[in-house]
Structure 1
Amino acid sequence: MSVVKVSEAAAALPRAWSSRVLGRVGTAAVKVLRMDELPVEEERHAEPEALLVLDGRLALDVEGEVVTVGPGEMYVVAAGTAHAVRPGSSGTLVIVDAAEAKDRPTDRPSPGKLAR
């Protein structure tokens, strides 16, 4: 794999809050996205996710508590934790998250295609 210019990858995205997978480590995906001041609705994930702010500021509402993440800082959202992006978040964000169990690649044959 070659060196990835993360800021350039973020700048090349077609719109804010759309992410691009930069690479994978085990079942985890390393993604980049641009934040644009607009909020993002609450969500929960079955797996934890790490949110690393490269530049700018990420403001989160984590189960009713405000969490602010600045440049060079990272916040890990625990599995099953409700979180939403608050208005005013902007900059470049790297997300590291594991694929949900249903989305993980598997070495097991699918039903009806048993190995012989």
Structure 2
Amino acid sequence: MPLCDLTSLAKALPRAWQSTILGRVGPARVKLLRMDEMAYGEEVHDYNEALLVISGRMMLEVAGQPVTVEAGHLYLVEAGVAHTVLAGSHGSLVIIDVAPEPLTACLP
């Protein structure tokens, strides 16, 4: 498996907000996308989603509440929970999709 420079790969993606699958780990898909300043409409998935900001910042609205995810931070979205990306989000994002099961909170 080659070493991946996620920031360079994200910058080279042809369109913002269109993810590309980097690989699979068991049942999980590991995806990469480039965010721009535009909002991205509400989504609800039938799978859990881990959102890891590699660079920049992602501003979300999750179940009606604002959430800011900074570079180096991970946000877990449980299956069935509505979430929207707010305008002003930018940078690179890794998304890990996995079959629905209860999420484990981040350890301190």
CA distance in 2 between partners of 1:19 and 1:8 (Å): 14
Identical-residue share of aligned pairs (%): 54
TM-score (norm: length of structure 1): 0.82
Q: For the structure 1 residues 64 and 16, does the alpha-carbon distance in structure 2 shift closer, same or farther, using more than 3 Å as the test?
A: same
Question: Hey, what does 1:76 align to over in structure 2?
Answer: 76
**Deviation at residue 77 of structure 1 after TM alignment:** 0.3
Structure 1 position 26 matched with structure 2 position 23: no
8 Å Cα contact 1:34/1:90 also seen in 2: yes
Q: Which runs of 5+ in 1 are unaligned?
A: 101-116
Letter in 2 for 1:54: I
8 Å Cα contact 1:10/1:92 also seen in 2: yes
CA distance in 2 between partners of 1:68 and 1:11 (Å): 22
Query: What is the total number of aligned residue pairs between the two structures?
Result: 100
Question: Hey, what does 2:17 align to over in structure 1?
Answer: 17
Question: Hey, what does 1:60 align to over in structure 2?
Answer: 60
TM-score (norm: length of structure 2): 0.88
Question: Hey, what does 1:91 align to over in structure 2?
Answer: 91
SS at match of 1:11: helix
**Deviation at residue 98 of structure 1 after TM alignment:** 2.5
Normalized per residue, the structure richer in strand is: 2
CA distance in 2 between partners of 1:99 and 1:8 (Å): 29
Q: Which runs of 5+ in 2 are unaligned?
A: 101-108
Question: Higher Cα Rg: structure 1 or 2?
Answer: 1
